[in-house]
Structure 1
Amino acid sequence: MTSLSIGTREVARYCDGRDMPTELSPRPYLHPVSTLAGQPLTEVAPADHRHHYGVSNAVVEINGSMFWGGGSYVHSSGYQMLDNHGRQVGGPVEATAHAIDQQVEFLDVDGHHLLTEQRRITAELLPAWDGWALSWHSRLLADSGDLTFGSPATRGRVGAGYGGLFWRISGDQLATTAQVDGGGEPLGSTSPWLLLTQDRPTGPVSLLLAQSRTQVLPWFVRTGGYVGAGPAVAWEAPRHLPHGEQLDLHLTGVLLDRTIDTDTARTLYTELEQLS
């Protein structure tokens, strides 16, 4: 297990996921991820969705193998547990207190090599905001053939195009507000950022999830039933990646021990873009 720290505070732990059951699509993940005041903003294996694991690269389907975990959506029949789960196997971790670098191999349901991911995760203090930023960058290389990424939406479930870098947020029993730039419906929005806020008994928290303006994917977000969000790789249609090409996935989360509004979120996002 590897940790990320801000000063003397441990703010995130990186787990290899090798002990996860096969039907959960084993993968490395971050948990717990906490604010500077120690409030956890991740959850693993919750009763409602046992396959949700903190912050992880949880693409739903690649060439027919499942990397999200749990049941697969079968049109007209709903979700069914199929024998289609792949796994991610991480190589040696190169780490400092502020960065994790790792090469990850995606193995399909039969254990065959499917693709190689170069992963970098960083932690950065944002002193002007009394918070910190967790950045996750995954570069997926189609080094074994053409790849097709799918989701429940590409199989017929409208609005369920989830899959990719995904953050399962703790506090599902609390009222959670989701807002995007310009207002409107967060689900499916192509706003460059998504703001989630909660008023907790231990104090308010905000999580600003940000994408790069150069590549904005539609947001998948849930605030009812459970709380989770991330950019969707295959929101409405399958995404194809030819052999030899690569797909870059980026997600930055800013963790704050207070509530902020959308104007403040916009200013914070602009500063993040200037830092990158």
Structure 2
Amino acid sequence: MSRPMGAAFRVTSEHGRRVVVAVEGEGVGQGSGRVEVATYDLGSDVAAFEAPKPYLHPLRTLSGALVSAYRPHDHRWHKGLQMTVSHLDDQNFWGGSSYRHGEGYVPVDNVGRMRHDGFAAVEVTDAEVCLAEDLTWVTAAGEDWVSERRELRWHGLDVERGTWTLDFATELRNVRGADLRVGSPTTHGRPDAGYTGFFWRGPRGFTGGEVVTADPDAPAEPMGTTSPWLAYTGQHDEVDGGATLLFSAGTSSAPVPLRWFVRREPFPAVNPSPAFSEEVTIAPEETLTLRHQVVFADRAWNRAEVTAFAAEHAL
């Protein structure tokens, strides 16, 4: 693959703490020539109640505009873009209080963590960056329940169009020795709260933004629906203009469909949930595989532009 004219990926790292992916080249960063588009933080400083785990923040467009939120006051465990599970049997790898039917959200000593065990591979070229990471999901009691192989790929640089793309894939192998049930607050009795899995929390300026799916007749906030892709557009604080995040629902090895958890109010959030309204069971030594993609576009696209890009890239 040849690199795009005038732009290339660059990587710096701080051992055991974070990896920073930048784009350098003409037309990037409003003339500065360099933007750190994604920081992959390994979560070493995250408080126990917030479920320590790796996360992507800050996330930026090629102009340098911020498109992620970190520890907002309403949900301190929301950190940019994360892989996270709200209900894994009785354990909470999401962070914060746990939903209990009839009680609401209550603090429980069940908040787990995801331990970074190391990078199995790191590949960097001008055109793409690929990380393969091994992690272990550890319960509040210190038991290893999940062995994860995670792969992240930064690619798709297009300075003229103002886009870059992140691919995210994970294999979650059950090492508990008994069935694991992946669920959500909705599977536990709370309607329209099926969040679990790959989750993005947007900046406050994106509150009330526009959501577009493949269905032109979908509601403004298509909670719990299925669609091969979903775009969220919003307006920036601090700098002029807006941006679009185009999420591909991707694939799940589970026999239930991926459904969208999406909010515009009171905050912006998108999650292709693998267990929105139906639990997914992972048998001992079996693996749940999930693949997702996010395109970061440096402008607020309209429906025609989103649809054309999705068709061009077979989303």
Q: Kindly provide the amino acid, as one letter, of the partner of residue 259 in structure 1.
A: A
Q: Kindly provide the amino acid, as one letter, of the partner of residue 218 in structure 1.
A: R
Report the more deviating stretch, 76-85 or 260-269: 260-269
SS at the partner of 1:23? helix
SS at the partner of 2:313? helix
Shift of 1:266: 2.3
TM-score normalised by the chain length of structure 1 = 0.93
SS at the partner of 1:117? strand
- Aligned mate of 2:226, from 178, 190, 193: 190
Residue 88 of structure 1: aligned partner: 114
Report the more deviating stretch, 101-110 or 124-133: 124-133
Gaps (5+ residues) in structure 2?
1-17, 25-33
SS at the partner of 1:123? strand
Shift of 1:241: 1.0
Q: Which has the higher contact order (CA 8 A, sep 6+)?
A: 1
Residue 155 of structure 2: aligned partner: 124
- How many Å separate the matches in 1 of 2:103 and 2:52? 25
Alpha carbons of structure 1 residues 174 and 153: separation in structure 2 relative to 1, 3 Å: closer
Residue 241 of structure 1: aligned partner: 282
Query: For 1:14-57, what per-residue CA distance to the aligned partner results, in whole angstroms no more than 9, with x for missing partners?
Result: 11112211111110111111100001111111101111011111
SS at the partner of 1:182? coil
Aligned positions of 1:104-123 closer than 5 A = 104-123=135-154
Query: For 1:106-147, what per-residue CA distance to the aligned partner results, in whole angstroms no more than 9, with x for missing partners?
Result: 011211110111101111134263210111111111133321
- How many Å separate the matches in 1 of 2:145 and 2:180? 8
Q: Kindly provide the amino acid, as one letter, of the partner of residue 84 in structure 1.
A: N
- How many Å separate the matches in 1 of 2:141 and 2:131? 29
Q: Kindly provide the amino acid, as one letter, of the partner of residue 211 in structure 1.
A: A
Q: Kindly provide the amino acid, as one letter, of the partner of residue 123 in structure 1.
A: W
Q: Kindly provide the amino acid, as one letter, of the partner of residue 173 in structure 2.
A: L
- How many Å separate the matches in 2 of 1:151 and 1:234? 6
Q: Kindly provide the amino acid, as one letter, of the partner of residue 175 in structure 1.
A: G
Tell me which structure has the larger Cα radius of gyration.
Answer: 2
The answer as to 2:282 corresponding to 1:250 is: no
The answer as to 2:150 corresponding to 1:133 is: no
Q: Kindly provide the amino acid, as one letter, of the partner of residue 205 in structure 1.
A: A
- How many Å separate the matches in 1 of 2:176 and 2:208? 44
Residue 38 of structure 1: aligned partner: 64
- How many Å separate the matches in 2 of 1:31 and 1:272? 26
The answer as to 2:103 corresponding to 1:103 is: no
Q: Kindly provide the amino acid, as one letter, of the partner of residue 217 in structure 1.
A: L
TM-score normalised by the chain length of structure 2 = 0.82
Shift of 1:172: 4.6
Report the more deviating stretch, 258-267 or 154-163: 258-267
Gaps (5+ residues) in structure 1?
none
Asked if the contact 2:241–2:300 (Cα under 8 Å) also holds between the matched residues in 1, the reply is no
Asked if the contact 2:252–2:258 (Cα under 8 Å) also holds between the matched residues in 1, the reply is no
- How many Å separate the matches in 2 of 1:267 and 1:142? 39
- How many Å separate the matches in 2 of 1:29 and 1:164? 12
The answer as to 2:210 corresponding to 1:165 is: no
- How many Å separate the matches in 1 of 2:204 and 2:157? 24
